[in-house]
Amino acid sequence: MDLQNQARIKELTEQYGGENIVMLLGGAEPESASIAAETVTVGDPTFAGPLAGVSLGLKVYHVVEPEIKAEFDPKVYEEQVAMMEMVLDVDNLVAEVAKMRQEGSK
């Protein structure tokens, strides 16, 4: 994950408290979504950024996960995301991000 983004996420977590924050991802690839989820839960796996060795433990979801999707206005989801369900590898995206959340979210 971009180092500036890591710094920003760290700063926001300090400001609001990790328990009040939810992170939503829109990554196209299961692998990169998994790395993003890992970065904001257990820490930056590349050890390059401000979140290296920092376990924020944020609650993190991919936007196509059923439990998060259920909270959106269906009309808005239809307009903003639905088509991409035909394009993206939804099953693997959900599996990867959910796995990271279970392992690393506080």
Partner 1 sequence: MSILAGKKVIIMGDRDGIPGPAIAECANSAGADVVFVTTECFV
Partner 2 sequence: MPVVKGVGYSLIHAPNILYHNGTTQTSERKKNPQSEYLAKLANHLRSYETALAYAPNQVYIGNIGMDELRSIPRPWYSSPVAKADRFGPYGEIMPEDEFYGLIKIADSFDLVRLEAEFSAAVKAKLARHRYLGNELIKRLSDGKELAQIQKLVDDQGAEGLFIAGRLVGCVRSAHEIDENLSAHVMLENLVTKASSLLPLFYLLTTAGAKPADIDYIIECSEEACGDMNQRGGGNFAKAIGELAGLVNASGSDVRGFCAGPVHAILQAASLVKSGVFKNVAVVGGGSAAKLGMNGKDHVNKNLPVLEDMLGTFALLIAADDGFNPVIRLDVVGKHNIGTGSSPQQVMTALVAEPAAKLNLKLGDIDHFSAEMQNPEITEPAGAGNVPEANYKMIAALAVMAGEIARGEILQFVEKHGLIGFAPTQGHIPSGVPALGYFRDQILAGRAKTCMLIGKGSLFLGRMTNLFDGLSLVIDKNPGLKPAETGISRDAVRQLIAEALRDMAQNLKRG
* Contact letters for partner 1, residues 59-88 (x by CB under 8 A): x-x-xx--xx--xxx--xx-xxx--x---x
The CA distance from 1 to 76, in Å, is 28
Q: Which residues pair with 59 in a beta bridge?
A: 22
Residue listed under structure tokens 């369900």: 85
Number of chain residues interacting with partner 1 (CB under 8 A): 38
The CA distance from 5 to 71, in Å, is 26
Q: Is 41 in the site for partner 1 (CB under 8 A)?
A: no
The CA distance from 78 to 16, in Å, is 31
Which residues from 62-91 bind partner 2, rule CB under 8 A? 79-84, 86-87
Per CB under 8 A, residues contacting partner 1 are 1-2, 5, 8-9, 12, 16, 20-29, 32-33, 36, 40, 58-59, 61, 63-64, 67-68, 71-73, 76-77, 79-81, 84, 88
